[in-house]
Amino acid sequence: MARGKPRLRVGVVGATGIVGRELLDSLQRRKFPVGELLAFSSGRARQTVRFNSRALPAPGVDERALASCDLVFFVSADEVSERLAPGLARRGIWCVDDSSAFRQDPEVPLVIPEVNASALARDKKLIAGPNCTMTGLAVAGWPLHRRVGVRAVRLASYQAVSGAGKAALGEFFSQTRLLVTKLDSSGKAPLLAAAKAQALPRAIAFNVIPQVGGFDEKGESSEERKVAAELRKIWSAPALAVSVTAVRVPVVRGHSLAAWLTMARPTSPVEAGPLLRAAPGLTVSKEGDYPTPLTCKGPGPVYAGRLRQGAAADELCVWIVSDNLQKGAALNSVQIAEELLKRRWLAA
Amino acid sequence: MARGKPRLRVGVVGATGIVGRELLDSLQRRKFPVGELLAFSSGRARQTVRFNSRALPAPGVDERALASCDLVFFVSADEVSERLAPGLARRGIWCVDDSSAFRQDPEVPLVIPEVNASALARDKKLIAGPNCTMTGLAVAGWPLHRRVGVRAVRLASYQAVSGAGKAALGEFFSQTRLLVTKLDSSGKAPLLAAAKAQALPRAIAFNVIPQVGGFDEKGESSEERKVAAELRKIWSAPALAVSVTAVRVPVVRGHSLAAWLTMARPTSPVEAGPLLRAAPGLTVSKEGDYPTPLTCKGPGPVYAGRLRQGAAADELCVWIVSDNLQKGAALNSVQIAEELLKRRWLAA
């Protein structure tokens, strides 16, 4: 930690969840100037978390303790954020919310710092981070939208199970362990297909599931709606046409996207390549190479490859990978807080 | 087997491969009128296969024996088909080729019986079956193309490892066994990422790989080119715009597709639904339900669900699953041969 930096009282609500642990890890790795860390579990079970090599208690939420913080990260359920964040923000406490509760609230900035840090405002103490699925596209497509203009987006996702939380991950692991002894080319997996999926709508081991969240009357899943609405808000592009097929795949960590971008005018990969390579937060693979969830090279935190012409001269295709737990959640929240520090809006 | 049906001398080249075994299974299950089955391994190792509860030898290819057949199925490598099929066809022997060797040959019908059985001709003895990835779309999209017209297709695939053959499947299984004991939410899997992939370009267990085949100078993979070219040929739609992102996923069997179809005019899911439900060879899920590789309900052999509006009024989205080893390969070949029987072009 740099000397002389303010040392803040930082609350983390949901510290014992998958994203919570990643958040503590990010704060530590990035040397965020934490003076005191108050960790809270969003559940009732008494747990501990590790931060800077120390075990900290993570009791249930204590509203009085939260009110003593300079900054509170919410990495828990929508309901928890809804109940606590607006009150704290009114009292002048910066709240960085990773839930989807306030993302579409016009009074709440929805921020990916590489894209729209300009949406932050000194008097808007409650700030939302985006859905983990659209983050990669929002970062990778941003230079194209800013410099040329994107009219329409079609997106197929390959989403890791960790994005669905601990219970889904446990289900995935136990299904995999059950099936791994029975693997053969028939691939029929009757046991697994019959196994009752609980946290996810179908068995996920050795399968793909084109459902992330519930369906609306138009047949779109809540994840697909979130991606569309949040991309429009973050890019300030209310007229952007967005069509998404959100699919869960048997990957532990790392969301991938196959994206088609319809540009405002014919745009070649030769023109688009340098724009992408100059984009903050984006690492573009060399020609012939590409990122995968297990093999991302370079600083990131978003990775792109396979930039090529799409179905017409005004369409580009690109493959995008980003860490759903970090850039899609924990890291983005910490980057937002760093932006507040940089502007000196947040000080101990 | 129905009495009085012709009993044919049937050759199978590549009988010991994954698709070969599926083909024998299909012939048996569908009671194809096999009088004598001559099975050949395309490799050199002496192996046996099972057909109608009997073990049959599957030696290396014997050209003289093949020349005595009424019908030969090729479910082996391109080179093997190239070397043997044209000569046999010239001698009047029906050759149904599952390789990609002749699919783009204008003299060779490329046939999915539900779509273009009309492309078969009495004097065209060499017939090609299509790439396993595009089969699902060719069947599911056909009624839309025939009745309304499809102008453009965007396709993201979720392709099973069995489509890459036995070695890839073995690699997938051993990687999964290695990793299954180390599963945790970090998902970093350094061991696996470092493991040298041989049959596939990256480790596939707990990963997705946006490369199927080699890349050309435009950055398209051979699989992506095949899908586009074969769809145009099978639909007789030379002007169809097709853009594909072909991705391998850690699924044993069953290729899935997220498809966007740009229609010749505005087309609602309400109009398109009945067209799909009437399509031969296609089972459409009830609203709110969908097929997955492990959970396809109904006769098939192609399954569709999640039919909905796309990015504009003239665009439809649909999710498609089909068995890459059966409808994508073995079953389609047997269906072609059944069509020849039906027309009495093939008789003992």
> Hey, are the CB atoms on B177 and A177 less than 8 Å from each other?
no
CA dist B249 and B160 (Å) reads 6
Q: Where are the alpha helices (DSSP H) in B38-77?
A: 63-66
A69, A95, A132, A296: the active-site residue: A132
> Hey, are the CB atoms on A187 and B152 less than 8 Å from each other?
no
Task: State the smallest CA–CA distance between residue B260 and chain A in angstroms.
Answer: 8
> Hey, are the CB atoms on B189 and A294 less than 8 Å from each other?
yes
Percent of the residues in chain A that have a pLDDT greater than 90, as a whole number: 82
Contact B139, B281 (CB under 8 A): yes
- A64 exposure class (CB count in 10 Å sphere: 0-12, 13-18, 19+): exposed
Using an 8 Å CB-CB cutoff, list chain A residues near B308: 218-220
Using an 8 Å CB-CB cutoff, list chain A residues near B206: 250-252, 293-294
Closest in B187, B243, B315 to A310, CB measured? B243
Angle CA A266–A290–A221, to nearest 5: 75
Contact B250, A250 (CB under 8 A): yes
Q: Are strands A126-128 and A47-51 parallel, antiparallel or unpaired?
A: unpaired
> Hey, are the CB atoms on B219 and A269 less than 8 Å from each other?
yes
Contact A138, A112 (CB under 8 A): yes
**Reported confidence tier of residue A2, pLDDT bands at 50, 70, 90:** very low
CA closest to B203 among chain A residues: A294
Q: Which residues, listed in sequence order, are joined to residue A258 by a DSSP beta bridge?
A: A156, A319
Using an 8 Å CB-CB cutoff, list chain B residues near A193: 294-295
CA dist A202 and B235 (Å) reads 34
Lowest mean pLDDT among A87-101, A143-157, B40-54, B246-260: B40-54
Half-sphere exposure of A247 (CA within 13 A, CB side): 33
Residues of B recognised as catalytic? 132, 255
Phi, psi dihedral angles at A271 (to 5 degrees): -75, -40
Using an 8 Å CB-CB cutoff, list chain A residues near B254: 187
Element (H, E) at A134: helix A132-147
User: For position B47, what pLDDT does the model report?
Assistant: 86
Q: Which residues, listed in sequence order, are joined to residue B262 by a DSSP beta bridge?
A: B152, B315
A69, A95, A145, A255: the active-site residue: A255
Instruction: For residue A347, give both structure tokens.
Output: 């000080």
Using an 8 Å CB-CB cutoff, list chain A residues near B256: 208, 210, 247
Phi, psi dihedral angles at B161 (to 5 degrees): -70, -30
CA closest to B180 among chain A residues: A177
pLDDT, tens digit, 9 for 90 and up, residues A292-342: 999 888 889 999 999 999 989 999 999 999 999 898 889 999 999 999 999
Closest in A169, A177, A189 to B180, CB measured? A177
Q: Are strands B54-58 and B71-74 parallel, antiparallel or unpaired?
A: unpaired
Closest in A152, A247, A307 to B158, CB measured? A247
Instruction: For residue A315, give both structure tokens.
Output: 């369409």
**What is the average per-residue pLDDT within A118-136?**
96
- A45 exposure class (CB count in 10 Å sphere: 0-12, 13-18, 19+): exposed
User: For position A44, what pLDDT does the model report?
Assistant: 66
| A132 noted as active-site residue | yes
Task: State the smallest CA–CA distance between residue B326 and chain A in angstroms.
Answer: 11
**Radius of gyration, alpha carbons of chain A:** 21
Region of residue B25 (phi > 0: left; psi between -120 and 50: alpha; otherwise: beta): alpha
ipTM of the complex: 0.95
CA closest to A209 among chain B residues: B292
Task: State the smallest CA–CA distance between residue B185 and chain A in angstroms.
Answer: 7
How does DSSP assign A4-42, residue by residue? T---EEEEEETTTSHHHHHHHHHHHHTT--EEEEEEEBS
Classify each residue of A112-147 as buried b or exposed e, where b means 16 or more C-beta atoms within 10 Å of its C-beta.
bbbbbbebbeeeebbbbbbbbbbbbbbbbbbbbbee
**What is the average per-residue pLDDT within A59-64?**
93
Using an 8 Å CB-CB cutoff, list chain A residues near B260: 154, 243, 260
How does DSSP assign B134-200, residue by residue? HHHHHHHHHHHHHHT-EEEEEEEEEB-GGGG-HHHHHHHHHHHHHHHTT--TT---HHHHHSPPSSS
**Reported confidence tier of residue A187, pLDDT bands at 50, 70, 90:** low
CA dist B337 and A145 (Å) reads 52
- For residue A252, what are the CA distances in angstroms to A103, A171, A288, A326? 26, 12, 25, 13
> Hey, are the CB atoms on B210 and A307 less than 8 Å from each other?
no
Phi, psi dihedral angles at A90 (to 5 degrees): -60, -30
Closest in A152, A211, A311 to B241, CB measured? A311
- For residue A143, what are the CA distances in angstroms to A112, A116, A150, A294, A298? 13, 12, 10, 26, 19
Q: What type of residue is B291? A: P
What is the three-class DSSP state of A335? helix
CA dist A55 and A58 (Å) reads 9
Contact B311, B317 (CB under 8 A): no
Q: In what order do the strands lie in the sheet with B8-13?
A: B34-40, B8-13, B71-74, B94-97, B126-128
Closest in B162, B220, B308 to A220, CB measured? B308
Which residue numbers in chain B have pLDDT < 70? 1-6, 44-45, 185-196, 348
Closest in A183, A203, A288 to B173, CB measured? A183
Among B133, B177, B185, which would you mutate to test the A interface (most chain A Cβ atoms within 10 Å of its Cβ)?
B185
Residue B249: CB atoms within 10 Å: 26
Using an 8 Å CB-CB cutoff, list chain B residues near A169: 185
> Hey, are the CB atoms on B309 and A218 less than 8 Å from each other?
yes
CA dist B170 and B177 (Å) reads 11
> Who contacts B339 (Cβ-Cβ below 8 Å, separation ≥6)?
B111, B113, B117, B120
Q: What type of residue is B278? A: A
User: For position A158, what pLDDT does the model report?
Assistant: 98
CA closest to B194 among chain A residues: A295
pLDDT, tens digit, 9 for 90 and up, residues B80-112: 999 999 999 999 999 999 999 999 999 999 999
User: For position B1, what pLDDT does the model report?
Assistant: 43
Instruction: For residue A168, give both structure tokens.
Output: 């889904």
Contact B23, B334 (CB under 8 A): yes
> Hey, are the CB atoms on A156 and B245 less than 8 Å from each other?
yes
DSSP state of B130: P
**Polymer length in residues for chain A:** 348
Among B272, B232, B73, which residue's Cα sits nearest to residue B151? B232
User: For position A185, what pLDDT does the model report?
Assistant: 64
pLDDT, tens digit, 9 for 90 and up, residues A248-296: 999 999 999 999 999 999 999 999 999 999 999 999 999 899 999 998 8
Task: State the smallest CA–CA distance between residue B111 and chain A in angstroms.
Answer: 25
Q: Which residues, listed in sequence order, are joined to residue B91 by a DSSP beta bridge?
A: none
